[in-house]
Amino acid sequence: MLARQRYLLDYTLAALLRRKGRNLSLLLVYGALVFALASVLLFGSALRREARALLQDAPELTVQRLVAGRHDPIPAAYLAEVRKIRGVAAAEPRLWGYYYDPASGANYTVLVPATDPPPAGSARVGRGVARSRGLAVGDVVAFRDARAEPLPLRVTHLLDPASELLTADLFLVAEGDFRRWLGVPEGLYTDLALRVRNGREVRTVADKVTRALPDTRPVLREEVARTYDAVFAWREGVGLLLLCAALFAFAIFAWDRASGLSAEERREIGVLKAVGWDTGDVLRMKLWEGAVVSLTAFLLGYVLAYAHVFWAGAPLLAPLLKGWATLYPEFRLVPHVEPAGVLALFALTVVPYTAVTLVPTWRAAVADPDAVMRGAQE
Per-residue pLDDT, averaged over 295-302, amounts to: 92
Residues near 127 by Cβ (< 8 Å), separated by ≥ 6?
A: 158, 159, 161, 164, 167, 168, 329, 330
The CB density around residue 198, as the number of other CB atoms within 10 Å, is 10
Q: How many helices (H) does the chain have, and how many strands (E)?
A: 13, 12
Architecture of domain 74-189: Beta Barrel (2.40)
Say if CB 160 and CB 54 are below 8 A apart. no
| Partners of 101 in the β-ladder | 106
- The pLDDT of residue 271: 65
Per-residue pLDDT for 318 more than 70?
no
Please say whether the beta carbons of 336 and 46 come within 8 A.
Answer: yes
- Residue range(s) occupied by CATH 2.40.40 in the chain: 74-189
Mean residue pLDDT across the chain: 81
- Whether the predicted pLDDT of 138 surpasses 90: yes
Q: Give the lowest-confidence range in 87-91, 94-98, 107-111, 370-374.
A: 370-374
Which of residues 304 and 340 earns the better pLDDT score?
Answer: 304
- Can you tell me the distance from the alpha carbon of 263 to that of 347, in angstroms, rounded to the nearest whole number? 30
pLDDT of residue 80: 93
The yes-or-no verdict on residue 250 having pLDDT over 90 is no
pLDDT reported for residue 223:
83
Instruction: Judge whether 216 and 69 are in contact, CB under 8 Å.
Output: no
Beta bridge partners of 170: 109
Is pLDDT larger for residue 192 or for residue 5?
Answer: 192
Residue 333 scores a pLDDT above 50: yes
Residue-level pLDDT at 214: 94
pLDDT tops 90 at residue 217: yes
Going by pLDDT thresholds of 50, 70 and 90, the confidence category of residue 168 is confident
What percentage of residues in the chain have a pLDDT greater than 90?
A: 37
Close Cβ partners of 110 (under 8 Å, ≥ 6 residues apart)? 96, 97, 98, 99, 171, 173, 178, 181, 182
Q: Which CA distances in Å does 244 have to 33, 229, 233, 247, 296?
A: 11, 21, 16, 5, 22
Sequence-separated (6 or more) residues with CB below 8 Å from residue 116: none
CA 196 to chain centroid, in Å, comes to: 31
Decide: 88 and 82 in contact? Cβ < 8 Å: yes
Confidence of residue 325 (pLDDT cuts 50, 70, 90): very low
Q: What is the pTM of this model?
A: 0.67
